[in-house]
Copies of this chain bind each other. A is one copy, B any other.
């Protein structure tokens, strides 16, 4: 609370993100770990409806691992209706989906819907119930859909902050541009095909010298395998240099005892 302006400044630099609404939270720690999970994925607007743990709460501060900015701007509400009045879309997360007339949607699908809604300028909320009981039907009524998190059906114990973490993660990921795979960048530049040819030829020459192949057709097929192995290794120029040295040393020190 020492420097709320600076804290708000930090969060205001983040792009628009879903609002998290916690209903009747029992443990202050869970508000703290929720704030941490939110900030991990760029969520910062945390609203508490009738928190049973009371507010402000020192246990929340101790458990937030530095996500103090999120706790500093927590807003308190008397009802889900009041806490969600400015939102255009609301997803409810509950471990116990009741027989409500609501669509059930995976966290990943909700993340895509949320991004699309936000692109139209809409504000989206994520509603989470009390730790033990989950959301009541009276609270679920305000939701557009119920979020489901796929889980091992034999072990579905997921705490509040973990549920928030997974839903927030899906939202962040839906706007994240990290390429699925970035190739390694070893030292030096990639070897040319010519350098690879030179390496394979060097190895084959030394293997010929020790009569490794024994028969020409065996040489043909093994030479192909060797080439494939070196291709797969995506060698860089320094690797080729090192391997030339290794082959040379082995050949020079070769005892020809078959080992």
A126 interface contact, C-beta 8 A: no
User: How many copies altogether?
Assistant: 2
Residue total for A at the interface (Cβ-Cβ under 8 A): 51
What separation, in Å, do the CA atoms of A98 and B38 have in the docked complex? Answer: 27
Residues of B within 8 A of A40 (CB): 151-152, 155-158, 162
Known: A40-B152, A158-B40. A178 touches B106 (CB 8 A): yes
Whether B150 contacts A182 by the Cβ 8 Å rule is no
| 28 A-B contact pairs sorted by A residue (CB < 8 Å) | A13-B154, A14-B152, A14-B154, A36-B157, A37-B162, A39-B152, A40-B152, A40-B156, A40-B158, A42-B152, A65-B157, A66-B155, A67-B155, A100-B184, A101-B184, A101-B187, A102-B184, A103-B181, A103-B182, A104-B182, A106-B178, A108-B173, A109-B181, A145-B181, A149-B169, A150-B173, A162-B165, A166-B169
For window 41-89 of A, CB contacts with B under 8 Å fall at: 41-42, 65-67
Known: A151-B41, A172-B152. A103 touches B183 (CB 8 A): yes
